[in-house]
Chain A
Amino acid sequence: MARALIHIPATAKRGEVIEIRALIGHPMETGYRPGADGKIVPRDIIRKFVCRYNGEQVFGAELHQAISANPYIGFFTLATESGTLEFVWEGDNGFSQTEKMALTVSA
């Protein structure tokens, strides 16, 4: 299981814009590079990233070969109500990782 580091504020006021930072360990092998044996190393990248806030998608991204290893994705969302933020990374070779973070929103 890859390591993921997610930073969100633990609490926010309703209507506040919060910053979310998600970093995940992944080689993001492009599929273009030859290995030590001269053969092309097969592609192994994350294809898709989605963030859901209480089940509703608030952010999504498609990832491609030009994105570096251990991709970092930063974005903003509006704090509406207390609940769970769910982060899902999906990629080649059946790669899938889900992380959850709790957010408390005060009026």
Chain B
Amino acid sequence: MKRCAAFLLACVALIASAADDRRSGREFMSASTQAMQRDDTLNPGMLWVSGGEMQWNAIAGKSGKSCASCHGDAGKSMRGVAARYPGFDVASKVVLNLSQRINLCRERKQLAPALKLEGEELLGLEAYVAIQSRGMPVDPPQDAVTKAAAARGKAMYFQRIGQLNLSCAQCHDQQWGKRLAGSTIPQAHAAAYPIYRLEWQGMGSLQRRLRNCMSGVRAEVPAFGAKELVELEAWLGVRDKGMPLEAPGVRP
């Protein structure tokens, strides 16, 4: 009976894995890089997380408030938040990614100047907010505006761009698992961002990664924070729905 149950369980697991053949970029990495991500005492991304934690509690701007003054313990208040971005901000009527949302809070509530996009401080705060949702499933918002943005992002994902005339899908949907020069092409799931990339020797956002790919196919690269990049992020959120968040990820 016990064996029968185990067999059934194995079958269920097989069916589940057949239904979802999405694989995190983590699975394409070497064992040592995987270990680096898995163990917080080895993960260099934790340096940014600890920097972000300091900032979370640091007073900024004319309001005399820190993030913690309003949001309290990030472990509670920020749990699950990163899983829901990019999302629609009702007040400013635009779709924002997590770092833009953090900056909005700084400008509007803390009355402090926005942090530089892709700067160490913003990456730290983003990493600190993102780690609170570790292990939670990606949960893209279902409102009409975010969905429309994701739809535009999807169109972009399948659009050939650049001198090499390649779309995202041609590599990441059709050729994943094969090699591009020395590296394995992953499936382009974005649930581990912001990531510590060994090649960068530092932390970077999903937008930095997207811009990398775009310049790789010799396309025109949008600026950090550009609408196109946020829309592409929104589509990746829809594409990754249900996958567990891994931030801060480590990638080769």
Q: Spot the interface stretch: B41-49, B69-77, B87-95.
A: B41-49
Nearest Cβ on chain A to B201's Cβ, whole angstroms: 4
Choose one: B42, B201, B202; the contact of A72 (CB below 8 Å): B42
B51 interface contact, C-beta 8 A: yes
Contact across chains for B202 and A7 when beta carbons are under 8 A apart:
no
Q: Give the number of A-B contacts (CB < 8 Å).
A: 30
Interface footprint category on A: 10 to 19
Query: Which of A21, A27, A70: most chain B Cβ within 10 A?
Result: A70
B50 interface contact, C-beta 8 A: yes
Contact across chains for B51 and A70 when beta carbons are under 8 A apart:
no
Contact across chains for B50 and A70 when beta carbons are under 8 A apart:
no
Choose one: A3, A21, A23, A27; the contact of B51 (CB below 8 Å): A3
CB closest residue in chain B, given A8: B41
A69 interface contact, C-beta 8 A: yes
- A23: chain B residues at CB < 8 Å are 41-42, 44, 46-47
Contact across chains for B201 and A7 when beta carbons are under 8 A apart:
no
A5 interface contact, C-beta 8 A: yes
B213 interface contact, C-beta 8 A: no
Nearest Cβ on chain B to A7's Cβ, whole angstroms: 4
- B42: chain A residues at CB < 8 Å are 21, 23, 72
- A5: chain B residues at CB < 8 Å are 41, 46-47, 50
- B202: chain A residues at CB < 8 Å are 69-70
Nearest Cβ on chain B to A10's Cβ, whole angstroms: 14
Contact across chains for A3 and B47 when beta carbons are under 8 A apart:
yes
Compute how far the CA of A21 lies from the CA of B46 in the bound complex, rounded to whole angstroms. Answer: 13
Contact across chains for A3 and B50 when beta carbons are under 8 A apart:
yes
- A25: chain B residues at CB < 8 Å are 47, 51
CB closest residue in chain A, given B203: A70
Query: 1/0 per position for A51-95, CB-CB distance to B under 8 A?
Result: 000000000000000001110100000000000000000000000
Nearest Cβ on chain A to B174's Cβ, whole angstroms: 34
- A69: chain B residues at CB < 8 Å are 201-202
Contact across chains for A21 and B41 when beta carbons are under 8 A apart:
yes
CB-CB nearest 9 A-B residue pairs: A69-B201, A7-B41, A25-B47, A70-B44, A21-B41, A3-B47, A3-B51, A3-B50, A5-B46
Extra 13 A-B pairs, beta carbons < 8 Å, given A25-B47, A69-B201, A70-B202: A3-B47, A5-B47, A5-B50, A21-B41, A23-B44, A23-B47, A25-B51, A68-B198, A68-B201, A69-B202, A70-B44, A70-B201, A72-B44
